[in-house]
C-alpha cells in the first residue's frame, strides 16, 4: 500500500455561464487589465491509500464522477502523486 | 424529509396540516419509506451547502429509499434545496447553479403553469399565474439539450399576467419547476408551502398541495 495525494481542479464547463467569473472579470477590467475571460473554479486535495498508481488514478476518477464534480455542469482534471509508504 | 440543515420542514409540515392531511418528520437516516404516499424534500441548507448545493445530502442514507420509492411510482416533491438534492441524486435531470447576478433572492415572483398533467398540478389550469415566494442563491437551472428531452417543464417564471419575463436567476428557458417524464417526481425553486394563507401574502401554493391530495384520493379510489 502506498499513500497518495490527489489534487483536483474543478471548473464550470465551457458554455455554462460562470457568474462568479464574469463578475471577477468585470472587476479586473475596471482595474485596467485587458482581460478577455475569467473562470472561477475550485481545488480539492484528497489523501488516501492505494495498491498502485493505476488504482490511485482510477479511485480519484471515481470520486470525481460520483461526488466531487457534477458532470452536468462541471469539468475536472487531477494530478496524483505518491507521498510515501507511511504518513 | 429532514436533513441536517433543512429549515423549511416546519413550514411544509404546517402546510400539509392546513390541507387536513397526516404528516410526519422523517430523519435522513430512515431506510424504509413504504408507509408513505408522498415524500417531500424541504428547503434549507442541507449539510451547509458544502461542496455543491444538495451534493452531500444526495448521498445520505435515506436517498436510496427515496430512489426506490420514486421508481415504484411514489410521489416525490423537492422544494428549493430539495429540488437541488433531487438533481444531484439524479432523480431529476440538470443542475442548479449560482444565480446569474450572484445575489440571494428573497421575494415574491410569478410563475405560469405550463403542464397540468401531473399529480402536482392537476388542480391548476395551463396558463394560471401563481404568486409564490423564492429564497435562494442557487436557483439558476441548467440542463443540456440532451437533458431537456428527459424532463417536463411544469412552472416557468413569468410576469404577473403570465407573459414571458420575470426570471429572477437566469434559469434556462425561464424554468422554475420541472418533473421527470412520468410526472411523479417534481422539483421547483419557489416555496408553495410559504404561500398557503392570505395573511402571509398569497395562498397560491395551495393548488399544488390540493393537486397531490386529489391525485392520491383518486389513486386509492381506483386501487381499493
Q: Which domains does chain A have, with CATH numbers?
A: 2-82 (3.30.1280.10)
Cα distances (Å, whole numbers) of residue B103 to A20, B30, B79: 11, 35, 19
Q: Specify whether B8 is catalytic.
A: no
**Which ipTM score applies to this complex?**
0.79
Q: Specify whether B87 is catalytic.
A: no
Q: Is A68 on the interface with B (CB under 8 A)?
A: yes
pLDDT per residue as tens, chain B (224 positions): 999 999 999 999 999 999 999 999 999 999 999 999 999 999 999 999 999 999 999 999 999 999 999 999 999 999 999 999 999 999 999 999 999 999 999 999 999 999 999 999 999 999 999 999 999 999 999 999 999 999 999 999 999 999 999 999 999 999 999 999 999 999 999 999 999 999 888 999 999 999 999 999 998 876 54
Q: Indicate the residue of A17, A19, A70 with minimum beta-carbon distance to B52.
A: A70
Per-domain residue ranges of chain B: 9-223
Sheet holding B38-41, edge to edge: B38-41, B75-79, B185-188, B175-179, B152-158, B105-113, B129-136
- Which of A15, A18, A70, A74 is the best mutation test for B, with the most CBs of B within 10 A? A70
- List the one residue out of A67, A55, A76 whose CA is nearest residue A2: A55
Tens-place pLDDT, residues B165-189: 999 999 999 999 999 999 999 999 9
Q: Provide the shortest C-alpha distance from residue A72 to chain B (in Å).
A: 6
Q: Is B59 on the interface with A (CB under 8 A)?
A: yes
> Under CATH, to which class is B9-223 assigned?
alpha beta
Q: Provide the shortest C-alpha distance from residue B185 to chain A (in Å).
A: 19
Q: Specify whether B193 is catalytic.
A: yes
Residue B93 with chain A: CB contacts under 8 Å: 72
- List the one residue out of B40, B167, B149 whose CA is nearest residue B109: B167
Q: What is the DSSP letter of B57?
A: G
Amino acid at each position: 500500500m502506498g499513500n497518495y495525494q490527489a489534487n483536483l481542479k474543478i471548473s464550470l464547463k465551457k458554455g455554462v455561464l460562470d457568474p462568479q467569473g464574469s463578475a471577477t472579470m468585470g472587476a479586473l477590467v475596471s482595474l485596467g487589465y485587458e482581460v478577455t475571460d475569467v473562470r472561477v473554479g475550485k481545488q480539492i486535495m484528497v489523501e488516501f491509500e492505494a495498491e498502485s498508481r493505476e488504482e490511485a488514478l482510477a479511485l480519484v476518477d471515481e470520486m470525481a464522477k460520483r461526488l466531487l464534480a457534477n458532470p452536468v455542469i462541471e469539468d475536472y482534471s487531477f494530478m496524483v502523486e505518491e507521498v510515501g509508504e507511511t504518513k | 424529509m429532514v436533513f441536517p440543515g433543512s429549515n423549511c420542514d416546519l413550514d411544509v409540515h404546517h402546510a400539509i396540516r392546513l390541507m387536513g392531511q397526516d404528516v410526519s418528520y422523517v430523519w435522513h437516516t430512515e431506510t424504509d419509506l413504504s408507509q408513505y404516499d408522498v415524500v417531500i424534500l424541504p428547503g434549507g441548507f442541507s449539510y451547509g451547502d458544502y461542496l455543491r448545493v444538495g451534493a452531500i445530502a444526495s448521498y445520505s442514507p435515506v436517498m436510496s429509499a427515496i430512489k426506490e420509492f420514486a421508481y415504484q411510482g411514489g410521489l416525490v416533491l423537492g422544494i428549493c434545496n430539495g429540488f437541488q438534492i433531487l438533481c444531484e441524486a439524479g432523480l431529476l435531470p440538470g443542475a442548479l447553479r449560482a444565480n446569474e447576478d450572484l445575489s440571494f433572492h428573497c421575494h415574491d415572483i410569478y410563475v405560469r403553469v405550463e403542464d397540468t398533467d401531473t399529480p402536482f398540478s392537476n388542480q391548476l389550469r395551463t396558463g394560471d399565474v401563481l404568486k409564490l415566494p423564492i429564497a435562494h442563491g442557487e436557483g439558476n437551472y441548467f440542463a443540456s439539450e440532451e437533458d431537456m428531452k428527459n424532463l417536463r417543464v411544469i412552472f416557468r417564471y413569468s410576469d404577473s399576467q403570465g407573459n414571458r419575463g420575470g426570471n429572477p436567476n437566469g434559469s434556462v428557458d425561464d424554468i422554475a419547476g420541472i418533473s421527470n417524464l412520468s410526472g411523479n417526481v417534481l422539483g421547483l425553486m419557489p416555496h408553495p408551502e410559504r404561500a398557503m394563507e392570505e395573511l402571509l401574502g398569497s395562498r397560491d401554493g395551495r393548488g399544488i398541495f390540493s393537486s397531490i391530495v386529489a391525485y392520491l384520493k383518486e389513486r386509492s379510489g381506483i386501487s381499493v
